[in-house]
Amino acid sequence: MGRPRWLNAEEKRAWNAFLGTYELLNRRLDQQLKQDWRISHLQYVILARLSGAPDRELRMAELACAVSNSKSGLTYQIGQLEQAGLVRRRACESDPRAVYAGLTDEGMALLERAAPGHVALVRELLIDVLTPDQLSALADGLGEANRRMLTDGDDGGCAGERPDRPGGPR
């Protein structure tokens, strides 16, 4: 193994800005959703992913990959959402090992009520503070990093299951 390629000053600045922004943005979105709708940001993302899927349902393994969560962590979250009546589970008829999570009408209704405030906060905290050129560079750079991580073969087994991130902020 060769010598480490340490980050130079500009690379550190970019890395630290990314980390700080990600953590603060996630925390603020989580606070807003918990306060207004009694769901976490992760639960909102789960509902959004399901809303964009065919028949509003996905295999649990595919959903875990889509939201970058472990299967056990997703099982817990789906259990919470199921208790709230926002999601339902069903067994796969052709594969007894597979389970599907589906968005209920109540879950879709909550998502439709929560989305405007969620998107407004995403705009306030991130989108509207960037110039169009900055936004384009951010989308291009992070999109390329995402693409490479998904195709490098070390994605936790999600390459064949991870949809192209349907859902998200509406």
The first and second tokens of residue 7, run together, are: 């980050």
Helix axes 9-37, 41-51, angle to 10 degrees: 80
User: Which stretch of DSSP H or E encloses residue 137?
Assistant: helix 132-151
The first and second tokens of residue 131, run together, are: 């110039």
pLDDT computed for residue 155 by the predictor = 53
Where are the chain's structural domains? Answer: 25-151
pLDDT, tens digit (0-9, with 9 covering 90-100), for 54-113: 999 999 999 999 998 888 899 999 999 999 999 999 998 888 889 999 999 999 999 999
Q: Is the pLDDT of residue 164 over 80?
A: no
Mean pLDDT of 141-162: 75
Written as one string, the DSSP assignment of 33-75 is: HHHHHS--HHHHHHHHHHHTSGGGEEEHHHHHHHTT--HHHHH
pLDDT computed for residue 153 by the predictor = 62
Q: Give the contacts of 149 (CB within 8 A, at least 6 positions apart).
A: 155
Mean pLDDT of 32-58: 97
CATH number for the segment(s) 25-151: 1.10.10.10
Q: How many residues does the chain have?
A: 170
Q: What is the pTM for the complete model shown?
A: 0.85
pLDDT computed for residue 154 by the predictor = 57
